[in-house]
Chains A and B, each alone.
Chain A
Amino acid sequence: MSSANLRRTPDATEYHDSVREALVEVAENSFFAFVDPVEPEAAGEVLSMAPGWLQATVVFEGAFGGAMQIALAEPLAVELFASFLGLDPGEVPDDARLFDLVGEFGNMVCGSWLTRNCQRRRFDLRHPEVVRLTSDAPPRTEAALLVVTLNGQPACLRLTFSEA
């Protein structure tokens, strides 16, 4: 059997636990936020509660390539902004700073996960792209690897791999 036949596109579900660990590490160390799991049957309802979303997409390349998408309920993103910078919770940033923060959150989760899974091999991350999703177009639960709450507010994570 040739080595080419052994290469396969990874299955994102295999990485559920390591992705969750990376998310918890980032949430706790840089944002002092507690991550709670959401039962799959409750995910749709939890996600529907958010008035809007900010979603970061981080493309990675290396031993394997793909993209991680992290969507944060917008009130959560504002709260994490304050926590990260040590500001009063009531401070609401402009879009430029808020999008920067959400992108950096995604960057850290993706990078932290890749470090855990590619210990000896290097990887490259592209600059995160951040968009605002409206409440009538929330993240799709069927595509999500992880649905959690941070400090009681919803977040949704999706991981896709490029074809091998």
Chain B
Amino acid sequence: MNPVMQAVTNTAPPVVSAFAMPSLGAGGTRHVVGIGEFAVSDRPDDLIVTHALGSCIAVCLWDAQAGVAGLIHFLLPESRINQQRAAEQPAAFADTGIPLVFQAAYKLGAAKARMRVRLVGGAEIAGDTTGGGTFNIGRRNLLAAKNVLWRNGVLIEKEEVGGRTVRTVHMTVNDGRLQVSTGREIVVTL
């Protein structure tokens, strides 16, 4: 028996009843997207995950017909404030990063007109320095994401944004479902 499971059973109710995260399908890959990174997949058993969404924004894409999902985790609104970094890590910024995840999804057969787009993050976190100390960076990131999406003719389906908590996103590729959690609690399923 798995010693970790045994310990949990002895001391607390089973984790699974309080926190049932989407599971990886057989043979699936768990893509963990870090800050300033993105991932796409067309494999139904895959899972795309990102953590530490404080003031950062995750733009989550899903084309049901093509079976393609994508997620970018960016931390700053505009590349013009640091062009050198934008050249090295374009996915760190809304304006250079969001088009990249879309283009990657198109290469797997996704189409803009079918894309369902959801936003998560953009919180105001005390002591969050990912934005270089800029005030209200979460809100600025959210506005930047919306601006980029509108400019590219994409409307947003749902949002789980703002507030003051750090979020985690699990996205299942087979159905495009997002589970957004804070700590051990699932906040919302989009």
Contacts and interface: CB of A to CB of B under 8 A. Distances in A.
B23 interface: no
Interface in A61-94: 82-83, 86-88
A34 interface: yes
Contact of B153 (A32, A83, A86): A86
Contacts of B151: 82-83, 86-88
Interface string A47-71: 0000000000000000000000000
B123 to A, nearest CB: 16
B136 interface: yes
Interface residues of B, number: 11
A92 to B, nearest CB: 16
Interface string B120-153: 0000000000000000100110011011001111
A155 to B, nearest CB: 16
Nearest to B81: A152
Nearest to B151: A86
Nearest to A34: B140
B86 to A, nearest CB: 15
Contacts of A86: 150-153
Nearest to A33: B143
A34 B146 CA distance: 12
A32 B147 contact: yes
Interface in B134-190: 136, 139-140, 143-144, 146-147, 150-153
Nearest to A27: B143
Contacts of B140: 34
B106 to A, nearest CB: 19
B147 A83 contact: yes
A97 to B, nearest CB: 17
Interface of A: 28, 32-34, 82-83, 86-88
Interface of B: 136, 139-140, 143-144, 146-147, 150-153
Given A28-B143, A83-B151, A87-B151, 14 more contacts: A32-B143, A32-B144, A32-B146, A32-B150, A33-B143, A34-B139, A34-B143, A82-B151, A83-B147, A83-B150, A86-B150, A86-B151, A86-B152, A88-B151
**What are the 8 A-B residue pairs with the smallest beta carbon separation, nearest first?**
A32-B147, A86-B150, A32-B143, A86-B151, A32-B146, A34-B140, A34-B143, A83-B147
21 contacts: A28-B143, A32-B143, A32-B144, A32-B146, A32-B147, A32-B150, A33-B143, A34-B136, A34-B139, A34-B140, A34-B143, A82-B151, A83-B147, A83-B150, A83-B151, A86-B150, A86-B151, A86-B152, A86-B153, A87-B151, A88-B151
